[in-house]
């Protein structure tokens, strides 16, 4: 099978699905993503850039629906949980 074609019989093929959920589910998912990036060593501005960049479809979609202020607040809350606060560059 050519490299760019999907084989539906391949058990190792990466498959993404959408799960129905409300705003609370989306908030929890976004918080988990921020938490994961934080634990990998990303800074608050790095995480914000991922939400603003259309290349990162999931995080960018959250920001498109919720807005930059909501994302900043979420990032601040998650980082505060681990580090005691967020210091945004001026």
Q: What's the token pair of residue 43? A: 């800074």
Establish if 43 belongs to a structural domain: yes
CA distance 77 to 84: 9
* 37 close to 72: Cβ distance less than 8 angstroms: no
The total of structural domains in the chain comes to 1
Q: What is the pLDDT along the chain (90 residues), one digit of tens a residue?
A: 456 777 778 887 766 666 666 777 889 999 999 999 999 999 999 999 999 999 998 899 999 999 999 999 999 999 988 876 555 565
pTM summary value: 0.69
Half-sphere exposure of residue 24: CA atoms within 13 angstroms, side-chain side: 0
Expressed as residue numbers, the domain containing 56 is 24-82
Q: Does the CA dihedral 44-45-48-54 come out positive or negative?
A: negative
Establish if 4 belongs to a structural domain: no
Establish if 19 belongs to a structural domain: no
């Amino acid at each position: 099978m050519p490299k760019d074609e999907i084989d539906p019989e391949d058990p190792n093929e990466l498959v993404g699905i959408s799960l129905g959920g409300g705003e609370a589910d989306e908030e929890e998912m976004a918080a988990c993503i921020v938490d994961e990036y934080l634990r990998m060593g990303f800074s608050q501005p790095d995480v914000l850039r991922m939400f603003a960049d259309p290349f990162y479809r999931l995080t960018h979609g959250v920001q498109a629906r919720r807005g930059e202020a909501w994302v900043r607040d979420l990032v601040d809350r998650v980082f505060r949980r681990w580090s005691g606060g967020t210091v945004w560059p001026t």
